[in-house]
Every structure is written in structure tokens, then in C-alpha cells.
Amino acid sequence: MNEVLSQDEIDQLLNTMTNGGGGDSIQDEFKPEKETRKIKIYDFKRPDKFSKEQIRTVSIMHETFARLTTTSLSAQLRSLVHVHVASVDQLTYEEFIRSIPTPTTLAVINMDPLKGNAILEIDPSITFSIIDRLFGGTGAGDKKATGRDLTDIEQSVMEGIIVRILANMREAWTQVIDLRPRLGQIETNPQFAQIVPPTEMVVLVTLETKVGDEEGMLNFCIPYLTIEPIISKLSSQFWFSSVRRSSTTQYLATLKEKLSDVDMDVVAEIGSIKLPIRDVLALQAGDVVRLSNTKVGDPLTLSVGNQRKFYCQPGIVGKKMAVQVISKIDQGDSDDFEELSVEGDESL
């Protein structure tokens, strides 16, 4: 059934379309959507050499580094210090050099046993805040001083700080490699720190750092050529498995150390027999009890705690009765007992 519009409804519809009141929205609503393809721009001059998983693993490693640095700097400066990972990116070395101020504190780090060097850059505001704090100041620093180079004394002070930071870096990398980072030299002009070609890809770890009320950035730049030999280890599977192995080994060594001083009852069992309680109560000095499961010359069993561990034979050491360990009772891997401390010539 067709509905017929009244004249008022027709006039109102014409006015609405003439004035643009909703006309465009109605047309847009019924406008067909164009099919668009999502295109990702890829620059062949700077290929991505680090996967997302590897970047994530590097971030986890340096979160540990940030916590260790927060603790060590707070203790050394006797001030509130906070360091945390802000971002982990991959870019060219030229882009990194252009992004940092001049002058700044650039430490060239030898990444032994890895080949090549890395760069640790400390923002000038953080550098002079640390120096001011170590020289007895409040840590506020001198705003005008951030535009000048370090003096010989200030550079020597910063070398000590950087060496302490590198010790934290070694501990943070221990799950992947036994890294032994060493401070090579300190530069203030980024142009003098050309450790790799400008187009070489690097991974840049940016850490937001706060010393007292001063805030700045601490950047750790690692070239791909340096980290390439261990790139396969920068995976979540390897990282967490190595963490478990390290934790298990550490706990096992601690348990062995603690258990080595525990006193245990050692009992040499000659044999056994079942007797009624009335016979036991009637035993007197001089009575002979014949053991049913032991023959003359058979080895005795030596129990540690409640576990049968060794075969032994009776004897005398001086004026004391003793037993000599002959062999170990094979009870499988679950009852593994490595050693038993004895006095004398393998005698108890």
C-alpha cells in the first residue's frame, strides 16, 4: 500500500534539502565505501634488522638494568634517583647522532667479548646534576653550565659514575652473555664518536632518568654489527629458559651449602628379628638373640636418617666400635647422595 504525503510534509522535505539540513548526511550514508588496501611503507635504505620479539627482549633486559642503576645511583648520590625504560627503537646511527645535543656526555663502551663498541649518552642536565650532587650541592645543577664541555675534574667524576653504571649493565646482560663492558673514552661532540657508518642500523634504548628534581634522558646505542653474534639469543623462549636455569642452579647451590652443615643420625643395622613383646620384656644380660636375616660375614647396612645408603662392616678404631663403608646402595637417581663425611680411614 503506497502512502501519500501531504502538502505540508512535501514542503518541509523540500526546505530541508534546500537548506542542507541533513541532506549531505543522508547522501553520505548511502555513499558506497571505496575498497582501500593497507600499504606499509618500507625503506630499503634502512631495513628493519630487529624483530619485535628481539626488541621486546632487549627492553626486558634493560628494565633490569634500570632497576639496578636506580638503586646504585641513589646510594652513591644520597638522593632520590629514578630510572626506567621509556622506549626501545631501531634507527640508523646518523639519526641517533642528530637527535642528541651538542655538547653532551658520550661514553664509548667496549662490549667485550662482542666485537665493536656501543655508546652511552647522558643528557647534560643529568650530568651536571650528578656532578653538583657529588660536589656537595643540592643536585639542582647550573642551567648555564649545560652548554659547555666538561672540565678535567668533572670528566674524571663522570668516569667513576659510568663505570658503576657499566657494572649494572653486565649484571643485566648475564642471562644472554657474560658481557664485560669497559669504558673506552668520553667525548662531548657526537661527530667525534663515529663507531659505525652513518647508515648502519642500531638499537636505541632510551631511559628516562630523574635525579632529584632534574629530569633527562640516558641513551644506550648498540650497533647491529656488535649485537649480531647473539641475535638468536634475543628471544623470549631463550630468555625465560635461561632465567629458569640460572635460578635453579643458584637455588641448588644454596641448598647444598645449607644442607652441608645439617646434623644427621647415622645408624648401622646389624640385622632384625620379630619377637613377641613378652620375649622382649624377658630379655636379660647374657641372652643370645639369633637374627633371622643376617649371616656371619654379611655386610651391614648403614642408614642416614631413615634412608639406607651404604654397606659397611663392623670393626674397632682404637677403643671404640666403628664401621667401615664398603660400597653405596644403588637406589636410583632419586636417592642420590654425593658424599658422607667420616672420621679416620673411611670409618665412623
Q: Which residues pair with 117 in a beta bridge?
A: 110
CATH of domain 52-244: 3.40.1550.10
d(CA 296, CA 307): 24
pTM: 0.56
The one-letter amino acid at 101: P
Q: Are 312 and 323 in contact (CB under 8 A)?
A: yes
- Helix, strand, coil percentages (3-state) for the chain, rounded to 5, are 40, 25, 40
Q: 46: closest CA among 240, 269, 204, 248?
A: 204
Q: Which residues of the chain have pLDDT under 50?
A: 1, 23, 30, 333-348
CATH classification for the domain delimited by 264-281+292-330, as one of 3.30.70, 2.30.330, 3.40.50, 1.10.1160: 2.30.330
Q: Write out the three cell numbers for 141.
A: 645543577
Concatenate the DSSP letters of all residues of 129-198 into one string.
HHHHHHTTS-S---GGGGGSPPPHHHHHHHHHHHHHHHHHHHHHTTTT-----EEEEEESSGGG---S-T
Q: Write out the three cell numbers for 308.
A: 639406607
Q: Are 125 and 216 in contact (CB under 8 A)?
A: yes
For the chain, residues classed under CATH 3.40.1550.10 are 52-244
**Taking the CB of residue 75, how many other CB atoms lie within 10 A of it?**
11
Q: Using N-to-C axis directions, what is the helix angle for 152-172 and 124-134, rounded to 10°?
A: 110
Q: 168: closest CA among 207, 211, 114?
A: 207
How far lies 282's CA from each of 47, 267, 286, in Å? 94, 25, 12
Q: According to the model, what pLDDT value does residue 244 have?
A: 52
* Burial class of residue 347 (count of CB atoms within 10 Å of its CB; 0-12, 13-18, 19+): middle
**Residue the block writes with cell 526546505:** 15
Concatenate the DSSP letters of all residues of 95-132 into one string.
HHHHHS-SS-EEEEEE-TTSSSEEEEEE-HHHHHHHHH
- The helix (run of H) or strand (run of E) holding residue 2 is none
For the chain, residues classed under CATH 2.30.330 are 264-281+292-330
| CA 253 from centroid of its chain's CA atoms | 19
User: Max Cα separation, the chain?
Assistant: 134
